[in-house]
């Protein structure tokens, strides 16, 4: 049997480490032993396929039972590509976030900010043939956390993505341009490479913006690409 | 070439995308309804941190082959389970078969486990193997692990029918072997 083509290994500076001293929750949760590197097999290069028939899409977070959530309505759209710029088709994208006041619809969130009965803050969309996705939501609020004195999370939306291979699995956060809290956030700044951090910040996009309706933000996401194969290098015409 | 997007923590509120029924891969109204054959098993375990405290807010995901060792068959080998107040997870699934490895190798039956949580800026990935499998002796991943730590990857029967347990220790004594995939 031919060996499967694995996924490329990331430049360590472009991904956060497990141990980030400024982020307190990592202290007792990061492994102290070195990870064991495994070559990719069918286990890593295959991955679950999510059918919208079983995993119903939910692309409008801005209303619940026909009632509008409070806050600034926004549209978030972008493409999911691999490192070679190829669209990742049919990828399941899950999102979750705080409401406009900076509170999650979650029993663990006791921040003294109002809950919005018309906002749950979770959604699920699938990429199309171009790797594009799109959803409508409410711009989330910043909120305090107890990591350090006067700590506030920058405004963000959580993203969960499944590519074709389990090794492409990604959970990340989308941030908003110009947020002054980014400079103080140990989660965002846990990534050493400035360009890699910058790519987590969505861009305002007038083409996504809908007149008289909602501002648009573009957030493109890149999943790991395949290692070069002899087949792909054999490009002589 | 643009490098892959950086990972960020799932945080403490990931339960907004928790659908507890996903932990039962054999649920009657799920993607495996109508998939016949195979041995029903339960996979359970406790996730603890470097102080031995339960990790009560973790998201555990599994990915596995079907009973014939295939990833491209009808069986949907994915599950997600949140840990409870005691750090416990529990999946209901089918026992996977041996999977082809690289070259002429054969991988022992295994289930991939990924742990996402507050305090993890990227997932911790490990594998669950089954005690007593003859193929464990030649499995390439198990063989790449020092013998003293190998047991952290091998689930044992609990005594309940079809139930296997593997505890996950994120840090410290008995630390689980995590994989760089």
Phi–psi pair at A137, nearest 5 degrees:
-150, -165
Question: Cα(B142)–Cα(B127) distance, rounded to whole angstroms?
Answer: 9
Q: Which of residues 73-132 of A touch B (CB under 8 A)?
A: 81, 83-85, 94, 96, 98, 104-106, 108-109, 120-122, 124
Of A15, A158, A167, the CB nearest to B6: A15
Q: What average pLDDT does this structure show over B87-91?
A: 98
Write down the pLDDT at residue B170. 98
Of A24, A26, A172, the CB nearest to B7: A172
Asked if the structure places residue B4 within a domain, the reply is no
Chain B hits for A191, CB-CB cut-off 8 Å, are 6
* C-alpha neighbours within 13 Å on the C-beta side of residue B12: 16
pLDDT band at A231 (very low <50, low <70, confident <90, very high): low
Cβ count near A101 (within 10 Å): 19
Catalytic residues of A: 104, 143, 153, 156, 158
Q: Kind and range of the H or E element at B141?
A: helix B140-144
- B20-70 pLDDT per residue, tens: 999 999 999 899 998 989 999 999 999 999 999 999 999 999 999 999 999
Q: Which of residues 43-72 of A touch B (CB under 8 A)?
A: 43-44, 46-49, 51, 54
Which residues contact residue A77 at a Cβ distance below 8 angstroms, ignoring those fewer than 6 apart? A132, A133, A134, A135, A205, A208, A216, A217, A218, A219
Question: Cα(A23)–Cα(A35) distance, rounded to whole angstroms?
Answer: 21
Asked if the structure places residue B162 within a domain, the reply is yes
Q: Domains in chain B: how many in total?
A: 1
CATH number of the structural domain spanning residue B88: 2.60.130.10
pLDDT band at A1 (very low <50, low <70, confident <90, very high): low
Of B50, B107, B120, the CB nearest to A41: B107
Cβ–Cβ below 8 Å for B112 and A23: no
Chain A hits for B57, CB-CB cut-off 8 Å, are 108
Cβ–Cβ below 8 Å for A41 and B31: no
Write down the pLDDT at residue B1. 81
Grouping H, G, I as helix, E, B as strand and the rest as coil, residue A194 is helix
Asked if the structure places residue B149 within a domain, the reply is yes
As a dihedral over the C-alpha atoms of residue A82, residue B81, residue A155, residue A139, rounded to 10 degrees, the angle is: 90
Question: Cα(A149)–Cα(A166) distance, rounded to whole angstroms?
Answer: 38
Please report, in angstroms and rounded to a whole number, the separation of the first and last CA atoms in chain B: 21
- A173-215 pLDDT per residue, tens: 999 999 999 999 999 999 999 999 999 999 999 999 999 999 9
Question: Cα(A34)–Cα(A40) distance, rounded to whole angstroms?
Answer: 18
Residue among A160, A159, A145 nearest A217 (CA): A159
The C-alpha of B53 sits at a distance from chain A's nearest C-alpha, in angstroms, of: 9
The C-alpha of B164 sits at a distance from chain A's nearest C-alpha, in angstroms, of: 21
- Say if residues A135 and A59 touch (Cβ distance below 8 Å): yes
The C-alpha of A212 sits at a distance from chain B's nearest C-alpha, in angstroms, of: 30
Query: Which chain B residue has the Cα nearest residue A4?
Result: B102
A27 touches chain B (CB under 8 A): yes
- Say if residues A31 and A18 touch (Cβ distance below 8 Å): yes
Asked if the structure places residue B178 within a domain, the reply is no
Chain B hits for A200, CB-CB cut-off 8 Å, are 5-6, 8
- A129-166 pLDDT per residue, tens: 999 999 999 999 999 999 999 999 999 999 999 999 99
Share of chain A above pLDDT 70, in %: 96
The 3-state secondary structure of chain B, one letter per residue: CCCCCCCCCCCCCHHHHCCHHHHECCCCCCCCCCCCCCCEEEEEEEEECCCCCECCCCEEEEEECCCCCCCCCCCCCEEEEECCCCCEEEEEEECCCCEECCCCCEECCEEEEEEECCCCCCCEEEEEEECCCHHHHCCHHHHHCCHHHHHHHEEEECCCCCEEECCEECCCCCCCCCEEC
Mean pLDDT of chain B: 97
Phi-psi region of B172 (alpha: psi -120 to 50; beta: other; left: phi over 0): left
ipTM strictly over 0.95? yes
Q: Where are the domains of chain A?
A: 12-22+50-222
Q: What average pLDDT does this structure show over B91-103?
A: 97
Residue A234 above 60 pLDDT? no
pTM for this model (two decimals): 0.97
Write down the pLDDT at residue A27. 98
Question: Cα(A115)–Cα(A62) distance, rounded to whole angstroms?
Answer: 14
Cβ–Cβ below 8 Å for B119 and A199: no
Mean pLDDT of chain A: 95
Residue A229 above 80 pLDDT? no
Q: What is the topology classification, in CATH, of domain A12-22+50-222?
A: Protocatechuate 3,4-Dioxygenase, subunit A (2.60.130)
The C-alpha of A174 sits at a distance from chain B's nearest C-alpha, in angstroms, of: 9
A191 touches chain B (CB under 8 A): yes
Chain B hits for A81, CB-CB cut-off 8 Å, are 2
Structure-token pair, residue A108: 């663990």
A190 touches chain B (CB under 8 A): yes
Residue B120 is part of which domain span? 14-169
């Amino acid at each position: 049997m031919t060996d499967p083509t694995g996924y490329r290994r990331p430049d360590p500076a472009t991904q956060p480490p497990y141990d980030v001293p400024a982020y307190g929750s990592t202290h007792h949760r990061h492994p102290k032993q070195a990870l064991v590197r495994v070559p990719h097999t069918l286990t890593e290069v295959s991955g679950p396929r999510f059918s919208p028939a079983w995993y119903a899409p939910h692309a409008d977070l801005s209303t619940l039972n026909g009632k509008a959530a409070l806050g600034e309505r926004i549209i978030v759209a972008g493409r999911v590509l691999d490192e070679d710029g190829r669209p990742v088709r049919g990828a399941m994208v899950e999102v979750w976030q705080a409401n406009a006041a900076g509170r999650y619809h979650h029993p663990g969130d006791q921040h003294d900010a109002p809950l919005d009965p018309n906002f749950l803050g979770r959604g699920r969309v699938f990429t199309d043939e171009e790797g594009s996705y799109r959803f409508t939501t409410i711009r989330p609020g910043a909120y305090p956390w107890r990591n350090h004195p006067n700590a506030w999370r920058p405004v963000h939306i959580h993203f969960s993505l499944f590519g074709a291979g389990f090794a492409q699995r990604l959970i990340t956060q989308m941030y908003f341009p110009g947020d002054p809290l980014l400079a103080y956030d140990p989660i965002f700044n846990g990534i050493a490479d400035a360009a890699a951090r910058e790519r987590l910040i969505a861009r305002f996009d007038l083409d996504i913006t809908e007149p008289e309706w909602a501002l648009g933000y573009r957030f493109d996401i890149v999943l790991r690409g395949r290692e070069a194969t002899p087949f792909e290098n054999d490009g002589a015409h | 070439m643009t490098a892959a997007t950086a990972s960020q923590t799932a945080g403490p509120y990931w339960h907004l995308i928790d659908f507890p029924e996903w932990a039962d891969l054999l649920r009657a109204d799920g993607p495996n309804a109508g998939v016949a054959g195979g041995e029903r098993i339960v996979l359970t375990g406790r996730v603890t941190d470097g102080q031995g405290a339960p990790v009560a807010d973790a998201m555990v995901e599994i990915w596995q082959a079907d009973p014939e060792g295939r990833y491209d068959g009808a069986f949907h080998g994915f599950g997600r389970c949140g840990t409870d107040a005691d750090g416990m997870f529990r999946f209901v699934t089918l026992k996977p078969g041996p999977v082809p490895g690289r070259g002429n190798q054969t991988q022992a039956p295994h289930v991939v486990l990924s742990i996402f949580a507050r305090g993890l800026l990227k997932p911790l990935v490990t594998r669950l193997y089954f005690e007593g499998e003859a193929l464990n002796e030649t499995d390439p991943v198990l063989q790449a692990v020092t013998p003293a730590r190998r047991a952290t990857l091998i689930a044992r029967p609990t005594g309940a029918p079809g139930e296997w347990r593997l505890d996950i220790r994120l840090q410290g004594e008995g630390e689980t072997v995590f994989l760089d995939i």
